[in-house]
Structure 1
Amino acid sequence: MLINSAADLDLASPDPLELSPALLERLRVTREAVLSTLATGAPVYGVNTGMGALSKVRLTDSEQRTHQHNLLQARAAGGAPWLPPAEARAVVVARLKTFLTGDAGVSPELCLQLVAVLDSGMVPAIPAAGAGSAGEIIPLAHAFGPLVGIGSLLVDGTTVQAEGKLPPFELGPKEGISLLAGIPGATGRAWLQVGNARRLVEKLTLAGAGAVAVVGANRDPYNPLCGRGDEVLAEELGRILAVAGPEVEPRGLQAPVSFRVVGQVNAQVRRAVGRLEEAVERAFSGVTDSPAFLAGEFVGTAGFHGIDLAAHCDQLVAALTHAAEVSTARIHRLLDPAVTGLPAQLAAEPGPQAGLVTVHKRAVATCHYLRRLAVPSAVGVMETSNGQEDVQSFSWEAVGVLGEAIRLAREVVACELLAVHQAFALSKRPVPEGLQELLGEVADVVPPIVADRPFGVDLARLLEHVV
């Protein structure tokens, strides 16, 4: 893939990367301007001064020559568990994307070293937790230490020492601090989770519509006219109605609330996903380096304070938690003959068999875990660096919590799909056309349920192949 600008860098593409000659020349021109400005000897944070509370300490020429390397070495205070390879790669791609804007003023050679990492098939071993600073210096030190032989890489799931695994490289002035600046980790990881959340919300819609169809819920609440003034809601109501199909056996004027509000619940998840995506775009296009090289001079910024990303990650976690709670309530109703007209607990032989009651219990436990994750990440600042860093946004942690929330919400959706699958099997009701593909996928991995069995195996298959 030929890259002419930061906008061309597609985080989703696995293709080898090539920085165009024109782009490399623009980076080189900016780098020369940076070096010229540094040559004046004016204080530049983290280049010819110390960091944090030591920023008033001026470094000698000799100290400056090793300072950029030492920045990475001294700040790699994290440890296992490491980020999954896909998230680690997203961090590296996001860092490269920010460098290609020219704000950091790094050399084209450093950008090419990042390309070498991405094309190598290896990813850095980056700690999943422990970023208790105003930015992301601890995880970023682990992410980019391997560029100069520090730290570890993940190769085919195995952790190996980074030394000697990449072409030799020596960091120049300002390049170490540039690798540690901003919030590329939270940004790249949030971009990845946006894609995961979009796939999940489609399953939320299908599972909810399946529950609506199998209990014969009155379709009035899903009339798109009920979404007046809210385009996202109106579209979601239309999706549910299209998937669930018309009423076949109306069982009353009103289904339980958990069925009636599926449109509102899923619309809120879709809104939260869209807003997070917008925050990711702002993070990529905004100034996050500090000091940034803007209009020919160094400018200290607060681009490391990722409250925009953190807040929108938190909002999506809350929306997913509510969606999982509502889904779990529907599962409980699907076990109730008074709601479905089907055998109790969706057992083929109620009494001798327990049916899917423990599947609901698993969903309940998962929701309980989700509720504990829904505490806003940015609440609870603590001082570090002798008071120089007296607040944090915890955006790194926020996106980590979001990833866990998506994983847990998928579990709940798998539980509901299993219940919907069994309810249709017991009811002998025709499957609406809009659900046939999904329930066909479920049937491909879940054998007919004619007796009790370890349903965890069925849920694992659904998570692997369907949800």
Structure 2
Amino acid sequence: MTSIIELDGHTLTRQQVARIVKKEALVVLSHDSEERVKQSRVWIEKRLAEGQAIYGVNTGFGKLSHIRIEEADNELLQLNLLRSDAAGVGEPFPIEIVRAMMILRANALARGFSGIRQDTLQLLLDCINKGVHPIVPSQGSVGASGDLAPLSHLALVLVGEGKAEFEGVVLPGAVALQRAGLAPVRLQAKEGLALVNGTQAMTGIGVVTLNEVERIGLAADMAASLSLEALKGIISAFDPALLAVRPHPEIEFVGGRIRKWLAGSKRVTKQGEVRMQDAYSLRCIPQVHGASWQSFFYAEGRVQIEMNATTDNPIVLESGEVLSGGHFHGQPIAFAMDFLKLGVCEWANISERRTERMVNPQLNDGLPPFLAMNPGIECGLMIAQYTAASLVSENKVLAHPASVDSIPTSGNQEDHVSMGTIAARQVHQIVRNTARVIAIELICASQAIYLEKVEEQLAPTTSAYLKKVRQFCPPLTTDQPIGDEIEALAVYLLASDELVELAN
């Protein structure tokens, strides 16, 4: 049965967003939010009746803010804003990201600081619930003044313009609304600006990506566990007393998780049994993976705040005063996404090094070269490591911080921007690349364990997960193409909550 999630502008979580995105829950406005939205609109109309000049309500936008707009043109001003700002280009965002953007914009408006009418907000909620998804190009936002281009493409559908997907078909916005049993709104003063001035594109990407990053981080921990078994890794490096002397909590919980998952394994060794020390890619798993988890937790905290924040301009305060500020600026999320990029990249970097360790006959402790059944006539998984190396290198290019760049816009009125949406788009791609790198490590560990014929010596937890890996890529008995298998396993890693449940 589909559940109901109330939007109140204060308590939304990334897990709730995931449920709504998957259409496992419907959204409604909380009673308190209804009252705040109504009062916010009362203040806007009162200030207009008093003849007060309000930015973007009865003035132009950006560099044109000095131009006063006649009352008769206030509605046209808002419609023109959507039309002129809908200048995005590139491939459209996936529907899951568009849905996240819609949810976050509705939640921001539910806080009651934006002056929008309840009817307009309700149409946005109805589109979420009935599956009307605007077509939103992925490129064109500089991450300040809000995500103007993406959100304008989103908002155009509410006025019966633009394009939207409904029941698998891309339609003109008005037709999509009609087929869903909805009618477009006619925007009034402030409403166009309230819909497009915010950080919901970058934050929407961030929310969807964080849910995937959690899964990929856990997959990295599991892949490392299987690699430790494949290579007779030294479990002494994960000793709790040892890890405790450097008390980063992430180091300790990665170490604890891997100890738990390897409990009962007869493949891991102790210091001095096979070798005195492992290479860094094995020995330093708690430190490297732990640092990547630090970037995840930092980004999660910033995104959690931003999901429940007011990010438009001007703001209608509870006192009725309408003030212009800079809450639309995406710098907090830009930094968070750039930091997250580094953490995810490092999961891929160290994973590829473990893969190299398993396939390289000079490093793999007696395993067949490149994990081939018949080395020489067969290349085994040699080129799978090439693929991992290529993806890791691509990640390094994408990891360049977008947030250090800025290009002035709007006649230099908007003279510093965040490029946060670029950072979010980059981390979204890095996560996909990293899922493939980890899939390759899992396949290599599976093959090494198969060649050694030691499945019965694995820990119960890793043994159970190995069976899942082999559903996607059974052990190789001869050379064969495995690109499809790598991709299918990567898609599973991005989507499955199996390890999230296991970790909890």
TM-score range, shorter chain: over 0.9
Aligned-pair CA distance for 1:457: 2.5
Deviation of 1:156 (Å) = 4.4
**Would you say 1:68 and 2:49 are equivalent positions?**
no
Equivalent-residue separation in structure 1 for 2:170 and 2:176 (angstroms): 12
Tell me which of 195, 203, 220 is aligned to 2:219.
Answer: 203
Whether contact under 8 Å (1:217, 1:252) holds in the other structure is no
Distance in 1, Cα, partners of 2:175 & 2:487: 40
Tell me the amino acid that sits aligned with residue 292 of structure 1.
I
CA-based RMSD? 1.7
Q: Within 5 Å, give how 1:255-266 maps onto structure 2.
A: 255-266=278-289
Q: Distance in 1 between matches of 2:5 and 2:459?
A: 46
**What is the aligned partner in structure 1 of residue 112 from structure 2?**
102
Output the CA distance in 1 between the equivalents of 2:475 and 2:438: 19
Decide which of 436, 439, 443 is 2:466's aligned counterpart: 439
| Contact 1:140–1:185 (Cα < 8 Å) also in 2 | yes
Q: 2:402 pairs with 352, 377, 384, which one?
A: 377
Normalising by structure 2, report the TM-score. Answer: 0.89
| Cross-structure match for 2:296 | 273
Pairing 1:28–2:38 present: yes
**Greater Cα shift, 111-120 or 3-12:** 3-12
Q: Secondary structure at the match of 1:449?
A: coil
Comparing 49-58 with 329-338, greater Cα deviation is found at: 329-338
Question: How far is the alpha carbon of 1:329 from its aligned partner?
Answer: 1.0
Cα shift at 1:29: 2.7
**1:83 corresponds to:** 93
Aligned counterpart for 1:11 among listed residues 17, 20, 29: 17
Question: 355, 360, 366: which is aligned to 1:336?
Answer: 360
Aligned match of 1:176 in 192, 209, 215?
Answer: 192
Between 358-367 and 119-128, report the one with greater CA deviation. 119-128
User: What is the SS of the residue equivalent to 1:81?
Assistant: strand
| Contact 1:222 1:238 survives alignment (8 Å) | yes
* Contact map agreement 2:151 2:201 (CA 8 A) in 1: yes
For 1:205 and 1:50, the matched residues in 2 are separated by 53
**Residue in 1 that maps onto 2:313:** 290
- Is 2:413 the counterpart of 1:388? yes
Give secondary structure in 2 for the equivalent of 1:259.
Answer: helix
Using the TM superposition, name which of 4-13 and 122-131 deviates more.
4-13
Q: Secondary structure at the match of 2:411?
A: helix
Q: Is 1:232 aligned with 2:250?
A: yes
Match of 1:363 in 2: 388
Query: Contact (CA 8 Å) 2:215, 2:493: kept in 1 or not?
Result: no
Q: Which SS does the other structure have where 1:328 is aligned?
A: helix
User: C-alpha distance in 2, partners of 1:78/1:358?
Assistant: 38
Q: Structure 1 residue 455 and structure 2 residue 482: aligned?
A: yes
Contact preservation (8 Å) 1:219, 1:247: no
Distance 2:17 2:480 in 1: 42
Deviates more, 1:155-164 or 1:206-215: 155-164
Count of residues in correspondence between the two structures:
467
Retained in 2: the 8 A contact 1:133–1:389? no
Choose 450-459 or 155-164, whichever is displaced more: 155-164
Cα shift readout 1:378-412 (whole Å, capped 9, x = no counterpart): 12211111111111101111111111011011010
User: Partner residue of 2:209?
Assistant: 193
Give the stretch that moved more between structures: 413-422 or 168-177.
168-177
Tell me the residue number matched to 2:499.
none
C-alpha deviation, 1:415, in angstroms: 0.5
- For the 8 Å contact 1:233–1:263, the answer to whether it is kept is yes
Structure 1 residues 37-48: aligned runs within 5 Å: 37-48=47-58
Counterpart residue type for residue 62 of structure 2: G
Partners of 1:304 and 1:4 lie apart in 2 by 20
Which has the higher mean CA deviation after the structures are superposed, 222-231 or 6-15? Answer: 6-15
* TM-score, scaled relative to structure 1: 0.96
Structure 1 CA distance for aligned equivalents of residues 142 and 297 of structure 2: 28
Identity of aligned residues (%): 27
Q: Which amino acid counterpart does residue 163 of structure 1 have in structure 2?
A: A
Matched residue of 1:426: which SS?
helix
Q: Which 10-residue stretch deviates more, 368-377 or 163-172?
A: 163-172
1:303 aligns with 2:331: no
Matching residue of 1:136 = 147
Q: 1:371 to 1:157 in 2, by over 3 A?
A: farther
TM superposition shift of 1:350? 0.9
The answer for unaligned runs of 5 or more in structure 2 is 178-182, 495-504
User: Would the aligned equivalents of 1:218 and 1:247 in 2 still touch at CA under 8 Å?
Assistant: no
Offset from partner CA, 1:139-161 (integer Å, 9 cap, x none): 11101110001211123454321
Structure-2 separation of matches of 1:157 and 1:415: 33
Deviations 1:102-154, CA, capped at 9 Å, x for gaps: 01021111110111110121211111111136231111110111000121112
Name the stretch that deviates more: 155-164 or 210-219.
Answer: 155-164
Question: Corresponding residue for 2:500?
Answer: none
Give yes or no for contact 1:90–1:192 (8 Å, CA) kept in 2. yes
Moved more, 130-139 or 352-361: 130-139
Q: Are the equivalent residues in 2 in contact too, given 1:133–1:384 (CA < 8 A)?
A: no
DSSP-derived class of the 1:340 partner: coil
Partner of residue 440, structure 2 = 415
